[in-house]
Amino acid sequence: MKKKHLAALVLLTAALPLAQAKPADAFTNTSTRTQYVKTEIQNANSFYSDTALKQQKYADMKVSPFAFYRATNHLYYADLDTGVIPVPAQWKTTSNVQTWLSGDFHSQNVGFFDNDNGKVVFDLNDFDESYIGPFYWDLLRYSTSLWLMKPELGASLSDSDIRDVVGDFLATYQSTLSAVNGNSTEKDLYLDKSALTGFMDNKIADVESKYSVSTLLSKWTTTAGGVRKFNFANPDLGVPTSTDSTEVKSNWSSYLSSVSSFASTQSSSYFNIKDLAVRLNSGLGSQGVKKYYVLVEGATTSQSDDVILEVKEERLPSLFHVHTVSQSLYTSQFATHGTRTATANLALLNHVDDHVGSLKSSTRSYFVHRISPWKKGLDPADFKSKSDLQNFAEASAQALAYAHARADKDYNSAYVSYNFEDGALNAIALWPQFKTTVSQLAENYSAQVQADYNSFVSLVNGGQLP
């Protein structure tokens, strides 16, 4: 795998305040749980300065329990901490089970994009919440998402069907770890068309055939006077203010420093900023953070090879709601949240895009990466049968297992000093009925999320979550 190096670290962005934990038995009363959910959501969204934008996020969260789940990763980790999700005590004390995590691994945080080899691949695609933790946190969050997707699937599946799919996901994760344990193949393996079958093979072929650099540029940009600019007729783009322009352009050198190895091999005009836009209506959990699209010159002065970079504000990962995760260690490792996100990208993926880096301003830090022309996820409605969903879940498990495995000492022993696969497989063998337990925890927690969603809708409709 190509080695990438980030620039020297700078000052750490201030950490977000965490909601005070409550004991699990405090939630036996429905009204107490509702108040807790309200407080958690208020705390997680307290950074909003635009009330209308926050209300729009709440409206998007009301669409379904699955949408609510995607937007409340902080609540998932709070529930792990308090015991609402009753993870067995033995799991918490077993050594060598931590690695870099997605941190928010659900069915819409894995998808298609092109890697540095020019291959369209299926892999993890969101690192905003990534940090180091026990591997089962990712497994449990994804398994729960399969349950919450159920009402939105393109096929009518039974509870028994979902249990089977969750079981296949967990079994494939374990078998994939076994396949790469004791060797280093995970550093080079990826799921391109040759590695996918059935439903997923058809989907990646569809993505490869329908999208290109030109389709991406046509979606977001236009040309005027022979010069390419952002197309602000696109409702997902906003015109930047002078403050926005200053935020990005005055700090552009910090990004260039983070990709200096790549930048030094390109023309002096490659990273020249041609235009800037505010990215609107993007994501759920990350709604409200600053997001910009930056159009840069690219390899030549031709208008056909311009590159679109996303500059996205990063914050403290939600897994710090689990009080055993060391914030002081995090602070010593990463000067900014943007640097941490870039590091996670490099740790969890292989053949990583050369544009991955970070940008720092006086008040915020950002993760920067190229927008892939082939970036495409799968929605619940895409799955027309149980076999479609199984095929997707198994590919997700493979992608996750490869990512977890390559992010251990194979990436950098300063973060994870041991062979993760060996530790995880030993733990799975040691823990009684591991896969059955994860499956049951996920099913039970999906019912809790449904109840929390109902409470949330009532709170918003009643004007108690302004």
Question: What band does 6 get if pLDDT is binned at 50, 70 and 90?
Answer: very low
Residue 423 lies in a domain: yes
Averaged pLDDT, 358-377 = 97
Q: Show the domain range for 102.
A: 87-445
* Whole-angstrom distance, CA of residue 38 vs CA of residue 464: 8
pLDDT band of residue 23 (cuts 50, 70, 90) is: very low
In the prediction, which pLDDT does 27 show? 58
pLDDT (0 to 100) of residue 2: 38
Structure confidence at residue 466 as a pLDDT band (50, 70, 90): confident
Question: Tell me: the pLDDT tens digits for 231-263?
Answer: 999 999 999 999 999 999 999 999 999 999 999
Report whether 348 contacts 100 (CB < 8 A).
yes
What's the pLDDT at 11? 30
CA distance 13 to 327: 12
Residue 6 in domain: no
Let me know if residue 332 belongs to a domain.
Answer: yes
What are phi and psi for residue 292, nearest 5 degrees?
-125, 150
pTM of the model: 0.93
pLDDT digit string, tens, across residues 96-123:
999 999 999 999 999 999 999 999 999 9
Residue 132 falls inside a structural domain: yes
Q: According to the model, what pLDDT value does residue 413 have?
A: 97
pLDDT of 12 reads: 35
Higher pLDDT, residue 352 or 281: 352
Whether residue 314 contacts residue 103, with contact meaning beta carbons closer than 8 Å, is answered with no
pLDDT at 28: 56
Beta strands in 201-251 (DSSP E): 221-224, 227-230, 237-238
In a domain, 72, yes or no: no
Of 143-157, 250-264, 274-288, 325-339, minimum mean pLDDT range: 274-288
Residue 84: CB partners within 8 Å, gap ≥ 6?
24, 27, 78, 445, 448
pLDDT value for 283: 76
323-366 tens-digit pLDDT:
999 999 999 999 999 999 999 999 999 999 999 999 999 999 99
Residue 192, domain member (yes or no): yes
Q: Is the pLDDT of residue 442 over 50?
A: yes
pLDDT value at 4 more than 80 = no
Distance of CA 5 to the CA centre of its chain: 21
Q: What mean pLDDT value characterizes the chain?
A: 93
Question: How many structural domains compose the chain?
Answer: 1
Let me know if residue 160 belongs to a domain.
yes
pLDDT in tens, 131-143: 999 999 999 999 9
Check residue 22 and give its pLDDT.
43
57 occurs within a structural domain = no
Q: What is the mean pLDDT of residues 379-387?
A: 98
Check pLDDT > 90 for residue 95. yes
